[in-house]
A and B are shown apart, each in its own frame.
Chain A
């Protein structure tokens, strides 16, 4: 911890970064995202099992972007989202430095996109076992059972859009849900409208979701929405190959085509 705090202070002091996005403890000792601009504040930083938020989502925020040179305290899921974002031609206007802790508990500082790519590939996460277990359970259900499961879950959705807000891949300035001419998605949070929204979101994230699980973890209504995107990702991987958040040149499956594509609808 001390090492992380010292490094952060050093980077802020020598001007490598103007802003550090990390975690500190609130009055109730919970790890919360924090935004540090001076070396003196670096001693409030923490990084432990409690630090779950995917902080890369803040890189889309105007108040953050203004700082340009930014340090990011990140676990591997967060690093993977940045990599995916870079491959989608996002964030290149920022100068990013990443601070993470490897499996051996050592502080690792990554200061270029290439170093980031190398680290992510060497530490690539697999699907969380509890998620895989749930996906297997859902896939083993009959279509009717699965429908009943999601109907029950999605009836609780209030469309607070927290799932969208915490998702680093949801960076559209105007989301489809906010278009009203034409209105693609119902605004009201009734079950059928909730299905429309979550189906749309899963489709837009197919092959782009880096499976950090944040959307499901933070859902106020406790809906495991991350399983929808996780499932889509597995299908994309199976059909088209490739991994999300794996390389700088990754792009994503549903946004690329080859002239020799066996399907002819695109020609």
Chain B
């Protein structure tokens, strides 16, 4: 790991350097609705400055909401021509994501690459560099410190920037990160290890994974699931905003002659998600569906992949139309 400093006044030059190097830079942008979204930007001026968290996560860069897997077209010889876009994915920098979002990439990596490597994810991930921004503010939905992370966590990041009086403390975590810095080396100075603590937000710790890992073993049969899910409207907002929800659906769009195959986000809260062709639905009620979502995050993924699939970003709480609260639910079902 390399440690650097860059002054606040030079940060725009660093940013411009990325654009000049021909990279696609995806950064938080404030829209008229007052919500902040990750968008490709053309200048530093477009980047939102005051935001606790973006509405949706940065996973969209490596796992788009709609991803064209290939197109097909009948040719004159009576065969089919296929086209995919794997070799045309641009070098991309995600700028200004939060440490929780970057930690989400750690999970995405395990999910998509560990057992059966996903070529589409890999192609995008290999070309993506994460320039993360530590959190100096948080809100009541944030709970990263409950899931083994914190507002200055380097997990998943290539570069972590922490704002400190007039400068940024730069932790360069990977080779990808190093190459960004090296291309703009004149803007940086080297430094010793500095303490970030007093510049970081202090989100409330709701529980510890240590205690939840044990207590969730018996949670499946908890009577609390009903109360924890009654308010659920059965939409996919939580899953789509989540940095670690990876369920998808494959759809063919087009005709016999030409068309495309796309992969799009899906969500376990939607009633059709587990519906079989026979009409049978093993998760018929919302109680069962909400339980699946939470048990997956805190138990199944820990058992199957060795990693908790909740990063405490709080997005599901912020977007939920009925304000269902994941940490309150986890506490109630593991009581």
The interface of chain A, by Cβ under 8 A from chain B, is 26-28, 30, 32-35, 53, 57-58, 61-64, 156, 158-162, 164-166, 178, 186-190, 193, 214, 218, 220-224
> What are 25 residue pairs bridging A and B, where the CB atoms are less than 8 Å apart in the complex?
A26-B323, A28-B141, A30-B323, A32-B231, A32-B324, A34-B230, A35-B231, A58-B230, A61-B286, A63-B285, A64-B230, A158-B56, A159-B264, A161-B236, A165-B234, A186-B251, A188-B262, A189-B264, A190-B66, A193-B66, A218-B321, A221-B37, A221-B56, A222-B31, A224-B33
Contacts beyond the supplied A35-B227, A165-B234, A222-B31: 9 A-B pairs with Cβ under 8 Å: A26-B325, A63-B287, A64-B230, A161-B235, A162-B236, A162-B237, A193-B66, A218-B321, A220-B241
Expressed in whole angstroms, the Cα–Cα distance for A32 and B33 within the complex equals 23
Given contacts A26-B328, A187-B251, A222-B31, contact A35 B230 (CB under 8 A): yes
Which residue from chain A places its CB closest to the CB of B60 in the assembled complex? A158
Expressed in whole angstroms, the Cα–Cα distance for A188 and B248 within the complex equals 11
Expressed in whole angstroms, the Cα–Cα distance for A146 and B323 within the complex equals 32
Q: Which of B264, B286, B325 contacts A27 (CB 8 A)?
A: B325
Give chain A residues whose Cβ lies under 8 Å from the Cβ of B226. Answer: 63
Are A166 and B323 in contact, with the CB atoms below 8 A? no
Expressed in whole angstroms, the Cα–Cα distance for A145 and B74 within the complex equals 38
Interface status of B240 (Cβ within 8 A of chain A): yes
Given contacts A53-B321, A190-B66, contact A160 B240 (CB under 8 A): yes
10 A-B pairs with least C-beta separation: A222-B33, A165-B235, A218-B321, A165-B233, A162-B235, A220-B319, A160-B236, A188-B66, A222-B35, A160-B237
Given contacts A32-B323, A160-B235, contact A188 B264 (CB under 8 A): yes
Q: Which of B140, B230, B321, B328 contacts A165 (CB 8 A)?
A: B321
Give chain B residues whose Cβ lies under 8 Å from the Cβ of A32. Answer: 231, 322-324
Expressed in whole angstroms, the Cα–Cα distance for A222 and B34 within the complex equals 8
Question: Number of B interface residues, CB 8 Å?
Answer: 42
Taking chain A's interface residues, is the majority helix, strand, or loop, or is none over half, making it mixed?
Answer: loop
Are B286 and A162 in contact, with the CB atoms below 8 A? no
The interface of chain B, by Cβ under 8 A from chain A, is 31, 33-35, 37, 55-56, 65-66, 140-141, 226-227, 230-231, 233-237, 239-241, 249, 251, 253, 262, 264-265, 267, 270, 272, 285-287, 319, 321-325, 328
Give chain B residues whose Cβ lies under 8 Å from the Cβ of A178. Answer: 272
Are A160 and B264 in contact, with the CB atoms below 8 A? no
Are A161 and B270 in contact, with the CB atoms below 8 A? yes
Q: Which of B33, B235, B253, B267 contacts A188 (CB 8 A)?
A: B253
Give chain B residues whose Cβ lies under 8 Å from the Cβ of A28. Answer: 140-141, 325
Give chain A residues whose Cβ lies under 8 Å from the Cβ of B234. Answer: 165
Expressed in whole angstroms, the Cα–Cα distance for A53 and B37 within the complex equals 25
Give chain A residues whose Cβ lies under 8 Å from the Cβ of B236. Answer: 158-162
Which residue from chain B places its CB closest to the CB of A158 in the assembled complex? B240
Expressed in whole angstroms, the Cα–Cα distance for A27 and B249 within the complex equals 35
Closest CB in chain B relative to A91 CB, distance in Å: 17
Are A222 and B55 in contact, with the CB atoms below 8 A? yes
Give chain A residues whose Cβ lies under 8 Å from the Cβ of B253. Answer: 186, 188
Give chain A residues whose Cβ lies under 8 Å from the Cβ of B233. Answer: 57, 162, 165-166
Closest CB in chain B relative to A222 CB, distance in Å: 3
Give chain A residues whose Cβ lies under 8 Å from the Cβ of B251. Answer: 186-188
